[in-house]
Amino acid sequence: MQQDMQQDSQERPQLKLVFMENGDNVVESPSMLAFGDLHINTAKREVTRAGRQIDLTTTEYNLLELFMRHPRQILDRQTILNRVWGYDFLGETNIIEVYVRYLREKIEDSPSSPRLILTVRGMGYVLKG
């Protein structure tokens, strides 16, 4: 049982809770998501990478937030479509690829060789670092 718990905790995605200093107090902020040097302030809908602010469209932001809430978890196309575009979306079938490319161009150091948002062939996409 103990071994299962250790293995479980090692396999679970790790999402840092970000702490903000408020005077002498350190306050846990549930509105902050962090993955490496990529940060989202969900209350302000602001994104930074290595301290640099990144401007995203609403759809790009929603897609990144989905990945950030499920780090190291493969998200299949249907899940992404449902969560970002909605269940009744009837648009182009390559819309996910297009927006993943837009996102990579804004957050990756080298969009043609991504290190953060990876394609898992035949399965979907994953936020890895």
For 8, the domain range is 2-127
- DSSP designation for 88: T
> H or E element: which one contains 126?
strand 124-127
Burial class (CB in 10 A: 0-12, 13-18, 19+), 49: middle
More confident residue, 121 or 6: 121
More confident residue, 94 or 19: 94
Three-state DSSP state, 61: helix
How is residue 117 written in tokens?
């948002």
* Count of domains for the chain: 1
β-partners of residue 38 are 35, 49
pLDDT tens for 21-67 read: 433 332 336 799 999 899 999 999 999 999 999 999 999 999 999 99
Three-state DSSP state, 91: coil
- CATH code of 90's domain: 1.10.10.10
pTM over 0.85: no
